[in-house]
Structure 1
Amino acid sequence: MTDYGFWSLIPPLLAIGLAIKTKQVVFSLSLGIFVGYLIIQGGNVFEGFLSTITAFVDVFQSKGNTRTIILTLIIGAMIQLIKYSGGINGFINWVQRRLSGQKNFKGKIQATSALTGFLIFVESNISILTVGTIFRPLFDKHKIPREKLAYLADSSSAPSCVLFPLNAWGAYVMGLLLAFPSLDPFKTLVYSIPFNFYAILTLIFVFWLAFSGKEFGEMKKFAERKQTLPEEKLAIDEKTSSPMNMVIPIAVMVLTMPIFLIYGGWDSTLEGGFSDRVWHSISNGSGSEAVLNACFTGFIVASVMYFFQKMLTIKTFIDESFKGMNDMVVMAVLMVLAFAIGNLCNELGTGIYVSRVTSSWLIPEVAPALIFIISSFIAFATGTSWGTFAIMISIGVPLSFAVDANIYLVIAAVLGGGVFGDHCSPISDTTLIASVASGCDHIDHVRTQLPYALFTGGLSIVFYLIAGFIF
């Protein structure tokens, strides 16, 4: 593999800088990808152009990427069917009835949205899409900025996903830990959870901000501006039905995900008891496959429910499904670009270069804090927490053995740092999805979320420094 050194940082930093400057995310990502392949092709513009086109096609060579993009379209179709059935309006009305007249009404609406994102811990994209779509009308009606909704959706999803092992995130991390025979993947992941300071602190901060109504930084400006706008009315031209028309399909999707994960990795020839086989199947199952299967199951359950309620015909089922998918096309394009620049950074060795330059600083006591910082920067520059996990677990685990650092602290620092950097990065797929699902400008979402993420990220560094000397 060619060592591109410092040049490996140019494409992602260019894409991030341009996105912030121009607010044109598609253009910024595309140009960053082109510049990257221009570097790889030694400055040959024609070859760089051809390689860029090939990079977009190569995104679909990964089954995981393809499943995620299809998942986005299916989620769009399912949400549209739920909306058409009146389930979303039913849920909104139920929330309003439950909270109406109570003190701190706005705070409880925000807390309910954060709680919804927290409970849908099967996959971050599903969580963000659901929260953004469902709660946007309520936030608009009660003059709560959409940027706040994007923050609550984004910052309640990945932290909850990374704290629960029975989902796609857990399966992925355990799969990475299988490379180290001396470690029990499930035990290592579970024991690292109490040390995942960023995820824990972020969730605490999210719910505090929601309940208290406190704002600072750019978010405060958007909140003040929103108060000057006239109150918006909820849409009344759509059907209203039981909130169960929304709750049941989403609950089915959440609950069947671990089942599909276990089924996909099940090995009947494996020796040991039932529980041993279950944990083995979880670590060996495909997270992206399980999530897609669960999503299809929820979609089918929703469709069957609405057919039996005589809300759907075959024609309306097809029309509404494609309408929902069409709403997700922009998001799917952004995901292709995000995956492409992630693949580019992998080819350039961006993460490996950063970790190589900084790994020489590590000593046992400060290793967790430095690993957290390194993981954060890699995730920020590459826009992917999962890619960061792959890079830093392969480096951090051997390093922790070599310098005798606490392995659970190191694993938690990698996971927390990956999520932190991902939250701060304008080229992250989850950050993109949060802004689109919530209906706010993407760069405005980044600008308003960044101070909050930096606050909990800074606290996490302090906690890792303290824990490094204690454990």
Structure 2
Amino acid sequence: MPSVSKQFTLVLCVISIVAAFYVYINVPPSWVESQLRFETYTDNKGNWMYQAGGKTLKIDQIVDYENSPLRQSALTLTTQPPALKQQWVWLSDSSESADVQASSLVLLKADFHYGLWSLLPAFIAILLCLITKEPFVALLSGIVVGAIIMGQFDIFSQVLIPAVGTTSAASILILYLWLLGGLMGVWGKTGAAQAFAEYMSKHYVKGPRSAKLVAWFLGIIFFQGGTMSTVLVGTTVKPIADKAKVSHEELSYVVDSTASPVAALIAFNAWPAYIQGFLFIPGVAFLATESQRVAFFFASVPFSFYAIFAVIGTLLLSLNITIFSGPLLKKASTRASTTGELDSKTARPISAKELHNTNVPKGYKANLVEFLLPLVSLICVAVITHFNMGSPQIHWAFATALFIAASIALIKGMSLHQLLEGLGDGLKGVVFASVILMLALTIGLISRQLGGGIFLVESLGDQIPFWALPLILQGMTMLIAFSTGTSWGTYAIAFPLAMPLAWSLAQSQNLAHPELYLMICFATVLNGSVYGDQCSPISDTTILSAMTTGCDLMDHVKSQILPASYAAMLAGLCWTLSALILT
């Protein structure tokens, strides 16, 4: 990093820390009422029950809205945390019919934000990522700034250790550090990945274009979305693409842009079951039950314009049609084809060299089955558990693949010492990337705690023309997901506001087809969040796309943001025209 850049980075860090102390001392939090609506009903004993997270839970106490300390009029009068975290309330007289009661029973929560200051940690992290290309320094700086704003000055015991101790963090360590790293290490030790690349190059892949088409096709097949798709496609196609001299920027873009976008289009995965929980609107009959909301999700798929254009954009790039690819991807493609260099001269990939080198023991001959059998078992376990248990058990899938790969190596004569050496190389190869993932998870958690998404949602007014709402929702969710690095977290923030607001506008402005309008607004939230997550340097899928393809993280972010933005702009135009013409 040049000295000028170092000086600027240091000045920026000092200014951001001073600003964080200013917010901590002088800016009181603004408390905001949040209303969460669930499917509620009475059981045969007359108890009110609700469903959340796949569980049926009892509602112990209900009060009138006017008596709740969590109502907005009460929260506005204080800057102190309310005594209650949440409370069930009636929004109307409880003597009405049972159906009306159920629709007027909501769970109140008190959230807070610091206005624009809530976005400061994510802003600093993203800006430093772009300037320094050092994600570790950038993410840690953002975490420090956020911790100071919240008054948590013991960064280790109050921020990092609690974040590392969560279920999500443990899942990352087990999946990406142990299972994924171990599997890639075994494949490197046995030479299985190289054998697969040589077989594909001999029979199917004849150059960069066919290698990219294989990557695109695998992205369509592995439609589970998110981290699973990026890891599966990235690890499978990298040896093929490297042999065919495909630049890592192009490969990581194809992998990233066919993960969540494809999952939104071919939604036979965990997405509908998760998202439907946020779609309940009182009085809207076609969203009354879980099955109806899932059906609504699938009916809205034709309006997922961003996902459609993103997948088409990667297909065009795979066919070497670079008109919508942007200058950075074109430059990367030209560099790889003319010099054979898969990375830029300044690139610093976040995956270590251990993952890209083979160290096959003397006398050991790799077989194509050693790559395909673990891969097929991984896919089968994920698909079978998805249909049997409601969501794919990714840890089971990778553990099975690792066990099979290791067993084949031992049966073929590799010593236990050599196998463990390969496992060790694999673990070393993903240690740094796992640390980056942990930091990204932590800063995303801090951004949500500071209420950045809540602030953006609160800033959205309801006195707007109906045709403008899809664009506003798109911009809002793009910004929230980009700032927090998560699309699913954005759904939890945006859908409970966006859906009732869209329905209210459709009714107040007498739209002829309010259900279609609701589908359009639903698609903007779904797709805007996917865009923000895909382009954010603090997103787990962005980091994993770079890691599994061997790409520099910021080279990946900067090269894909322009073609992704082209798709987003086209999608915004289509949503606006759809609202004007169809509703």
TM superposition score category, shorter chain reference: 0.7 to 0.9
Amino acid of the structure 2 residue aligned with 1:260:
T
C-alpha spacing 1:227/1:261, structure 2 compared with 1 (3 Å): closer
1:218-367 superposed matches below 5 A:
218-230=328-340, 238=360, 241-264=366-389, 282=390, 290-308=393-411, 310-360=412-462, 362-367=464-469
Contact 2:113 2:454 survives alignment (8 Å): no
Deviation at 1:362, TM superposition (A): 4.5
How far 1:457 moved relative to its partner?
A: 0.8
- What is the CA–CA distance in structure 2 between the aligned matches of 1:52 and 1:371, rounded to whole Å? 37
- 1:12-68 per-residue CA deviation (whole Å, 9 max, x = no partner) reads 111111110111111111111111121122xxxxx43x1465322222443234223
Deviation at 1:464, TM superposition (A): 0.8
The residue correspondences of 1:363-378 to structure 2 (distance < 5 A) are 363-378=465-480
1:95-147: CA deviation from partner (whole Å, max 9, x where unpaired): 111236x6xx3211111112223322234323323433444444444433211
SS of structure 2 residue aligned to 1:2: strand
Distance 1:94 1:359 in 2: 58
Residue among 437, 440, 449 paired with 2:548:
437
After superposition, give the CA deviation of every residue in 1:412-435 in whole Å (9 maximum; x if it has no partner). Answer: 221211111112212222112222
Residue number among 393, 403, 410 corresponding to 2:495 in the alignment = 393
Of the structure 1 ranges 413-422 and 313-322, higher mean CA displacement relative to structure 2 is found in 313-322
Q: How does 1:36-435 map to 2 (within 5 A)?
A: 36-41=146-151, 47-48=152-153, 50-51=154-155, 53-73=157-177, 74-99=179-204, 105-177=207-279, 182-183=288-289, 184-214=292-322, 215-230=325-340, 238=360, 241-264=366-389, 282=390, 290-308=393-411, 310-360=412-462, 362-404=464-506, 405=514, 406-435=517-546
Is the radius of gyration larger for structure 1 or structure 2? 2
Cα distance, 1:361 vs structure 2: 5.7
* Greater CA drift, 347-356 or 299-308: 299-308
CA contact (8 A) 2:198 2:240 kept: no
Paired with 2:242 and 2:375, the residues of 1 have a C-alpha distance of 23
The structure carrying a bigger strand percent of its residues is: 2
Q: Tell me, which stretches of 5 or more residues in structure 1 are unaligned?
A: 42-46, 265-281
After alignment, is 150-159 or 58-67 more displaced? 58-67
Deviation at 1:451, TM superposition (A): 0.9
Amino acid at match of 1:256: V
Q: 1:144 to 1:349 in 2, by over 3 A?
A: same
CA distance in structure 2 between the aligned counterparts of 1:197 and 1:235, rounded to whole angstroms = 40
- Residue 565 of structure 2 is matched in structure 1 by 454
- Are positions 1:12 and 2:122 aligned together? yes
- Relative to the length of structure 1, the TM-score reads 0.85
User: TM-score, normalized by length of structure 2?
Assistant: 0.69
Q: Distance in 2 between matches of 1:195 and 1:331?
A: 35
Instruction: Provide the rounded CA distance (Å) in 2 between the counterparts of 1:428 and 1:322.
Output: 27
Q: Which amino acid counterpart does residue 458 of structure 1 have in structure 2? A: M
Look up the equivalent residue of 2:328 and give its one-letter code: E
1:272-328 C-alpha deviation (Å, 9 max, x unpaired): xxxxxxxxxx3xx5x6xx2222222232333344444x2544444433233322211
Q: d(CA) in 2 for partners of 1:175 and 1:85? A: 45
* Alpha-carbon separation, structure 2, partners of 1:381 and 1:399: 23
- With over 3 angstroms needed to count, the CA separation of the structure-2 counterparts of 1:209 and 1:54, relative to structure 1, is same
The letter for the 1-side match of 2:333 is A
| Structure 1 residues 304 and 166: CA distance shift in structure 2, 3 A | farther
* Pairwise CA distance, 1:460: 0.7
Count of residues in Structure 1 that have an aligned counterpart in Structure 2: 438
- Which one scores higher on RCO, CA 8 angstroms, separation ≥ 6? 1
2:98 aligns with none
The residue identity in structure 2 corresponding to 1:203 is V
Cα deviation 1:424-464 (Å, max 9, x = unaligned): 21222211222222222211111111111111111110111
Q: Helix, strand or coil: the match of 1:149?
A: helix
Identity fraction in percent: 27
Match of 1:270 in 2: none
In structure 2, the CA distance between the partners of 1:260 and 1:217, relative to structure 1 (3 Å rule), is same
Q: Map Cα deviations across residues 195-217 of structure 1 (whole Å, 9 max, x no partner).
A: 11111111111011111252531
Looking at secondary structure, tell me which structure has more helix per residue: 1
Separation (CA, whole Å) in 1 of partners of 2:174 and 2:558: 29
Q: In structure 2, what is the Cα distance between the partners aligned to 1:52 and 1:411?
A: 40
Residue 161 of structure 1 and its aligned partner are, at CA, apart by: 2.4
Unaligned runs of 5+ in 2: 1-110, 343-355, 507-513
Q: Distance in 1 between matches of 2:405 and 2:465?
A: 54
